[in-house]
Chain A
Amino acid sequence: MRISHFFLCVGIITLACLVYVWQNVCQMELSYQLLTQEKQITKLVDQNRVLRYNVLQLKSPAAIEKSLLAAKIKLKYTTPVMIAHSDTESRQLLVDYSQKPSFRERTKKALSAIFAFRSEVEARP
């Protein structure tokens, strides 16, 4: 075997080893990135759970009653006439949405669609 062949073999083996080590280093880096992201996800999920829990607390009938009582607001129970249902199959729509919008509204809507205009309310986060 010539010396050049020997060096070529050594070079190839070294390169293969380096690729293998580099792969492992990349794997470790990715692992740490994943770990950080997993922690972030867990934190956000936990925050989300807490917020949902707060919403549930606020939406609980006792909490609503308490806040209404504190604000001295008296509410009436709804009657079937007062409820608009989106489920048209089983019920008739009680609120008439079939009325055509005015020319001004239609123009505004069309322009908004083209130029992505948004009303002030929509623009707010």
Chain B
Amino acid sequence: MDRYKKKRIYVIYFCILFNLFFLSLRLIYLQIFRAPSLTHFAQKQYQMYIPLEPARGTIFDRNMRPLAINLTIDSLFSNPREIENPLYTAEVLSEVSGLEKRMLLDKFAQDKSFVWLSRHIDKDIAERIKSLSLQGIHLIKETKRNYPQARNASTILGFCGIDNQGLEGLELYCDAQLKGRPGYLLSSKDAKRRRLFFLDYDHLPPIDGYDVVLSIDSVIQNIAERELEKAVKATRALGGSVVVVYPSTGEILAMANYPNFDPNNFEAHSRDAFRNRAVTDMFEPGSTFKIITASAALEEGIVSPQDRFFCENGSYNMKTHILRDHTPHGWLTFREIIEVSSNIGTVKVAQKAGLETLYRYARLFGLGRKSGVDLPGEAGGFIRPLNRLSKTSIGAIPIGQEIMVNALQLTLAASVIANGGILVRPYIIKEIRDKKGISIKTFSPVRIRTVISAQTVEKMKQILIGVVKSGTGKRADVDKYQAAGKTGTAQKVENGVYSHSKFTSSFIGFIPVDNPVLAIGIVLDEPRPYYGGVVCAPVFKNVAADALQYLDSLSQDIKFANID
């Protein structure tokens, strides 16, 4: 080999080596220095991250009838970068979906790859959009909370927001239990962005939310809602509540409020309708409080049902103010005082008992503090501390003024008499269970305290039967069943003084007296006419009659929890 040839080989060899050296450098640069960013870039091309939404738990009534469930529904989004002709797309989409063209154009102008156009759209509209196959317009499946019973129990259940988060009622209260834990799936995708099943990298399965079983019976709830709506409309009241409790355990069988709302379309209603008035609204109980006054007096042995009191023929000068009865009465027995709801007679009894005793019993009955019900927004009620009571208090508190309660607390007062003098904690959530039906937590009745003795209970029962048989609550008398209860009509406070035109009417009672199954409380806000015995007692009658017939028809199938 001549020298020239050898030189050429060396040059070529050197060139190859030189190139290899630079290629190695480039390789090192790409493999080591650019590795993280290039790996990420590559992963983005072939990997897909799929968030896995957990199924929100179902809410059931006591008979396992679903009250809140999930449905899959389409939502519309766009990738503005994929849209070649925004004007045409906006025009067509606007025509099909009813969305505003200007709004669509604004969204298409955004330099993003994902823009929501409309969440939770109708199935028909989704089908039409799908058939158009518009560039950059996509549909995605989402779950939406639905309430098959619509308005029934809506103020208890509340509703969920667009992202399935609880916003009101039990949906909010039990959000942590209902929502579950989201998961994800890291998988491979092909050029058409389809998932490749066998090339999953990472998978965290979602944990579905727990189901919540309520103590509510949707049939009794419907009866309560129906009768309340009828009463509110007939009396042109501002609103009202009906609470039905199983007295022995404190299970809430129904809690109706009016106005209510359709949680499937909650945006169409005012915030006022979302309120669970039975626990959030406080009012002066009026004569229904006489149950507590009478119980205190009987329990302390200050009076007996046959003791007679002079009712001053309807006008009693108490030095601080003049107390009046709605109907003048002369001499009445204690039993008759409660039956005809004489304010003067009740105050005279209370004067014998003393404010301290009355205050103590009001607290024992659970007034002036939260009942502890598992519902959000409960107002605790209000009783002024003993040392802050005024000279007028003795003429006010015994007849249900100067104190504030909510409808549930008032119903519980009747429940105490029905339950042999025992106060139990009310509850609405019976059980939390997983999707397989395995119980996670069961809620049992909680006995708070014994308020009055069995002897006093018997005397009170007879007095309250008298209210329904021959007193102010005649309209609450139910055929075939013995009812007991008390009416109430309280003046509302307006600008610091008691109004003569605005009243809160109420009725609390229980049925059947021998073995009480239902304690029912009815409250109407500013009804016309305003007497509790006229407007609320018929609601008690209708709710009790229908509910008892329904319970009878179940042939004792209804099972109540046993008290610990």
A residues with a Cβ closer than 8 A to B are: 27-28, 30-32, 34-35, 42, 45-46, 49-50, 52-53, 56-57, 59-62, 65, 77-80, 83, 85, 91
Contact between B198 and A79 (Cβ–Cβ < 8 Å)? no
Closest B residue to A27 by beta carbon equals B198
- Among the interface residues B66, B197, B219, B226, which one has the most CB atoms of the partner chain A within 10 A? B197
Q: Apart from A34-B197, A60-B222, A91-B555, what 15 extra A-B contacts exist at CB < 8 Å? A: A31-B195, A31-B199, A49-B69, A49-B71, A50-B71, A57-B150, A60-B150, A60-B152, A60-B218, A61-B219, A61-B221, A62-B222, A62-B226, A77-B552, A85-B555
Assess whether B135 is interfacial by the CB under 8 Å rule.
Answer: no
Assess whether B149 is interfacial by the CB under 8 Å rule.
Answer: yes
Per the bound structure, the CA–CA distance linking A116 and B553 in Å amounts to 40
List 11 A–B pairs whose Cβ atoms lie within 8 Å, in order of A's numbering: A31-B197, A31-B199, A42-B141, A45-B72, A46-B72, A56-B65, A60-B149, A61-B218, A61-B219, A62-B226, A80-B552
- Among the interface residues B218, B223, B555, which one has the most CB atoms of the partner chain A within 10 A? B555
Per the bound structure, the CA–CA distance linking A53 and B226 in Å amounts to 22
Closest B residue to A81 by beta carbon equals B555
Please indicate the chain B residues that have their CB under 8 angstroms from the CB of A32 in the complex.
194
Contact of A53 among B148, B219, B553 (CB under 8 A): B148
Contact between B71 and A53 (Cβ–Cβ < 8 Å)? yes
Per the bound structure, the CA–CA distance linking A30 and B198 in Å amounts to 9
The interface residues of chain B, by DSSP majority, are classed as mixed
Contact between B194 and A83 (Cβ–Cβ < 8 Å)? no
Please indicate the chain A residues that have their CB under 8 angstroms from the CB of B65 in the complex.
56, 59
Contacts A53-B146, A79-B553, A80-B552; A35 near B195 (Cβ below 8 A)? yes
Contacts A27-B198, A60-B218; A77 near B150 (Cβ below 8 A)? no
Please indicate the chain A residues that have their CB under 8 angstroms from the CB of B71 in the complex.
46, 49-50, 53
Please indicate the chain A residues that have their CB under 8 angstroms from the CB of B223 in the complex.
61
Contact between B198 and A77 (Cβ–Cβ < 8 Å)? no
Assess whether B196 is interfacial by the CB under 8 Å rule.
Answer: yes
- Among the interface residues B141, B150, B198, B199, which one has the most CB atoms of the partner chain A within 10 A? B198
Assess whether B526 is interfacial by the CB under 8 Å rule.
Answer: no
Contact between B197 and A61 (Cβ–Cβ < 8 Å)? no
The interface residues of chain A, by DSSP majority, are classed as helix
Give the distance to chain A from B440, nearest Cβ to Cβ, in Å.
Answer: 24
Please indicate the chain B residues that have their CB under 8 angstroms from the CB of A56 in the complex.
65-66, 69, 148-149
Assess whether B151 is interfacial by the CB under 8 Å rule.
Answer: yes
Closest A residue to B196 by beta carbon equals A31
- Among the interface residues A27, A31, A85, which one has the most CB atoms of the partner chain B within 10 A? A31
Query: Which 8 A-B residue pairs are closest in the complex by CB-CB distance?
Result: A56-B148, A61-B222, A31-B197, A77-B549, A60-B149, A78-B553, A46-B72, A80-B555
Per the bound structure, the CA–CA distance linking A46 and B126 in Å amounts to 14
Give the distance to chain A from B433, nearest Cβ to Cβ, in Å.
Answer: 19
Assess whether B225 is interfacial by the CB under 8 Å rule.
Answer: yes
Assess whether B498 is interfacial by the CB under 8 Å rule.
Answer: no
Contact between A65 and B555 (Cβ–Cβ < 8 Å)? no
Per the bound structure, the CA–CA distance linking A52 and B219 in Å amounts to 19
Give the distance to chain A from B294, nearest Cβ to Cβ, in Å.
Answer: 35
Closest A residue to B192 by beta carbon equals A32
Residues of B539-558 whose CB lies within 8 A of A? 549-550, 552-553, 555
Please indicate the chain B residues that have their CB under 8 angstroms from the CB of A83 in the complex.
553, 555
Per the bound structure, the CA–CA distance linking A42 and B141 in Å amounts to 10
Contact between A62 and B150 (Cβ–Cβ < 8 Å)? yes
Residues of B32-86 whose CB lies within 8 A of A? 65-66, 69-72
Contact between B72 and A35 (Cβ–Cβ < 8 Å)? no
Give the distance to chain B from A98, nearest Cβ to Cβ, in Å.
Answer: 21
Please indicate the chain A residues that have their CB under 8 angstroms from the CB of B552 in the complex.
77, 79-80
Please indicate the chain A residues that have their CB under 8 angstroms from the CB of B195 in the complex.
31, 35
Give the distance to chain A from B87, nearest Cβ to Cβ, in Å.
Answer: 33
Contact between A62 and B225 (Cβ–Cβ < 8 Å)? yes
Give the distance to chain A from B523, nearest Cβ to Cβ, in Å.
Answer: 22
Contact of A60 among B148, B194, B555 (CB under 8 A): B148
Contact between A62 and B149 (Cβ–Cβ < 8 Å)? yes
Give the distance to chain A from B131, nearest Cβ to Cβ, in Å.
Answer: 16
Residues of B519-540 whose CB lies within 8 A of A? none
Per the bound structure, the CA–CA distance linking A35 and B496 in Å amounts to 70
Per the bound structure, the CA–CA distance linking A75 and B319 in Å amounts to 59
Per the bound structure, the CA–CA distance linking A50 and B148 in Å amounts to 11
Contact between B149 and A61 (Cβ–Cβ < 8 Å)? yes
Please indicate the chain A residues that have their CB under 8 angstroms from the CB of B190 in the complex.
28
Please indicate the chain B residues that have their CB under 8 angstroms from the CB of A57 in the complex.
148-150
Closest A residue to B225 by beta carbon equals A62
Give the distance to chain A from B156, nearest Cβ to Cβ, in Å.
Answer: 15
Please indicate the chain A residues that have their CB under 8 angstroms from the CB of B549 in the complex.
77
Contact between A62 and B197 (Cβ–Cβ < 8 Å)? no
Per the bound structure, the CA–CA distance linking A78 and B195 in Å amounts to 55
